[in-house]
Chains A and B, each alone.
Chain A
């Protein structure tokens, strides 16, 4: 069945560092791909999405490109801030449900 694999955390970076969180997927067909973020004490929020190959989703300085050839949707940000500390989830849309990765905890130190 469909699945999502993302890099294990925690990922610890200094403020202003470059961020990459890897996400790869296995799916039949061409699902939509998502990154969700969960800030401490809050619910899951959609960060960005891409609905077809080569689409780039972007929001709040984060970007991810839907790569069909490598079945990947890596999350990147050029300069992280302390406020980006959260858990990030990669997910894909499989019929009636979202299939999720295990989440990657990001810790940004000032």
Chain B
């Protein structure tokens, strides 16, 4: 596609529910990143995929959070038993190759998750 696409753009869910957030990266980009951005703060790293595998999931806050990228393209971030503190904008980014400063990461517009 023309850019990184994230769906839905907004999601309101009740505390305790399960949610899935989808990211469709730029075609051909092997690296995919998930970040979380709380109001008034910079993005916070969650997980990085290189192809189908999670190369680094050290940013996932706890075991309620899980992400997959089964075919090396679309990725889904899954949050179980949502809590009000999970409310944030979840950002996805993709790049041609892995990190190292020589490839640009392109960001989607994010999914605004609100847990009520």
Contact = CB atoms under 8 A, between A and B. Distances in A.
A91 interface: yes
A98 interface: yes
B107 A31 contact: no
A100 B43 contact: yes
Given A45-B107, A89-B42, A97 B56 contact: yes
A102 B41 CA distance: 4
Contacts of B100: 32, 93
Q: A interface, by DSSP: helix, strand, loop or mixed? A: strand
B95 to A, nearest CB: 10
A18 to B, nearest CB: 25
Interface of A: 4, 31-32, 36, 42-46, 49, 51, 89, 91, 93, 95-103
Given A46-B104, A96-B56, 9 more contacts: A43-B110, A45-B107, A46-B105, A49-B104, A89-B43, A93-B101, A95-B56, A97-B56, A100-B42
8 contacts: A43-B4, A43-B91, A43-B107, A46-B104, A46-B105, A97-B99, A99-B45, A101-B42
Interface of B: 3-4, 33, 35, 40-45, 48, 55-56, 59, 91, 93, 98-102, 104-110
